[in-house]
Amino acid sequence: MAPLVNIGFWGDVTSSMDWCEENYEWSPFIAEFFNSWSSLAMILLGEACARMNPTNNRAFTLLGRSITVVGIGSYLFHATLRYSMQMLDELPMLWAVAIACYISITTQYMVNERAVKWGLSLWTLMVSLFTAGFSGKTQFVLFQASFNILTYVMAFLCWRGKRDLENAQMRHVAKLFSSGIKWYLMAAIVWLTDTNLCTYINGQDKSILPFNLQLHAWWHVMASLGLVYLVVLMMGHYCLVKDIPFKLRYICGVFPYIYSH
């Protein structure tokens, strides 16, 4: 991680992670300038997902708004590098992916929706308490393990949704899966590079580059794009299962937009 050279408005770092961006380089009030402002991508895309919802299922609106909360928490976390703000970033991530799991499970399987809701809620609450109750490397590992387990479950559920859409001859909608996964894989590569090779890419003494690539900021943007593709895929699959007519289009050739007709 980059060394803490400047002490800004928020004082010493108390979060379990201090990312590769140099602290307070651009503003005395924002610890990680690029990591903070790139979080706006999650806020904007979360609101877009909440507002485009053609399903009339309030769970999708809640999912979109939970992504917005993640973006707000991410901004505050990177702006302050305080542990309390880190929890405002990480805990909503757990709840957002739990909401996505609830939607996909109850859409794809004949299950007791109430039981699934309570089961996921209790599990996420337990994980949230464990995540918030530890600090340092232990906290980081606990959060990453818990979040990634649910993420892999969601990847499988999205794949099943893609398969159903292909069987229904809706390949243009099913393609959202591969597009979303590609964005996520690129995001994962830049996250891992930024996290593990910071010393060599931060533009400082041992760096092989003359400047910092700000890869964690790019992670925010790429992960947000991957997320919106998969959320729109989930909406399309829900509409297929519930026999809701819909159309899919792309804004500027990149941003998928689904609407009823």
Q: Which residues are annotated as a binding site?
A: 18-19, 21, 23, 32, 78, 216, 220
The rounded distance, in Å, linking the Cα atoms of 131 and 149 is 14
In the block, which residue shows the tokens 């309570």?
118
The rounded distance, in Å, linking the Cα atoms of 116 and 222 is 30
Q: Is 1 helix (H, G, I), strand (E, B) or coil?
A: coil
Dihedral sign of CA atoms 220, 224, 226, 231 in order: positive
35 neighbors 220 (Cβ within 8 angstroms): yes
47 neighbors 68 (Cβ within 8 angstroms): yes
Question: Binding site for Ca(2+): what residues are annotated?
Answer: 18-19, 21, 23, 32
Q: Is 121 helix (H, G, I), strand (E, B) or coil?
A: helix
Dihedral sign of CA atoms 87, 71, 48, 227 in order: negative
Question: Binding site for Zn(2+): what residues are annotated?
Answer: 78, 216, 220
